Amino acid sequence: MKLLGISGTIVGSKTAIAVRQVLEAVRRDNPDIETQLLDLKQYDVQFCDGRDPAAYTGDTRKVIDIVAEADFYIIGTPIFQSSLTGVLKNLFDLVPVNALYNKVMGFAATGGTYQHYLVVENQLKPIAGYFRAFVAPSYVYLHDDHFNPDKQIADEDVLRRIDRLAEEVVFMQRKLKS
């Protein structure tokens, strides 16, 4: 099984840190699961223009293939203007619907205000529903205060929630595929 962590931004580092932490929690307890981080800041992804996803080339094609080949996901986004990033929305627009069908998703979001956690409920979960994906009941929202000055996650409660999210996505994936 392959778990893909997606850092859905091209700026900052906290979202990738959060997603990486979930992937590490999965690896720690499940060495049989292959994990990969797709950090979108490392790719030059074109804007979706409505063409068949197979018609894209270069980094765009590579990213579409990486997403399609994974078995389940941890998807992270910072919250900008009370919404997911345009970069992540663009990725959702590029990926064929059937690539995410019946796959498990877990979410991690970062933001500067505590109210932004609702973006997961009001925007990310409905997108997963459109793809007919299964969503882990828990998700992790990290406020700037949860990181220490070295940009490490320092809040013990957040670290427990990360572990719970890791357990849930693995549990759901195993049950779904058994």
How far is residue 73's CA from residue 54's CA, in Å, rounded to a whole number? 21
pLDDT, tens digit, for every residue of 93-149? Answer: 999 999 999 999 999 999 988 888 889 999 999 999 999 999 999 999 999 999 999
pLDDT, tens digit, for every residue of 147-167? Answer: 999 999 999 999 999 999 999
- What is the total residue count of the chain? 178
Structure confidence at residue 115 (pLDDT):
82
Mean pLDDT over the full length of the chain? 96
C-alpha separations of 104 from 31, 44, 120 in Å? 19, 26, 15
Q: Which residues pair with 73 in a beta bridge?
A: 4, 105
- Predicted confidence band at 43 (pLDDT cuts at 50, 70, 90)? very high
Average pLDDT value for residue range 13-20 = 98
Average pLDDT value for residue range 53-62 = 97
Q: Is the pTM of this model over 0.85?
A: yes
pLDDT, tens digit, for every residue of 67-92? Answer: 999 999 999 999 999 899 999 999 99
Structure confidence at residue 114 (pLDDT):
85
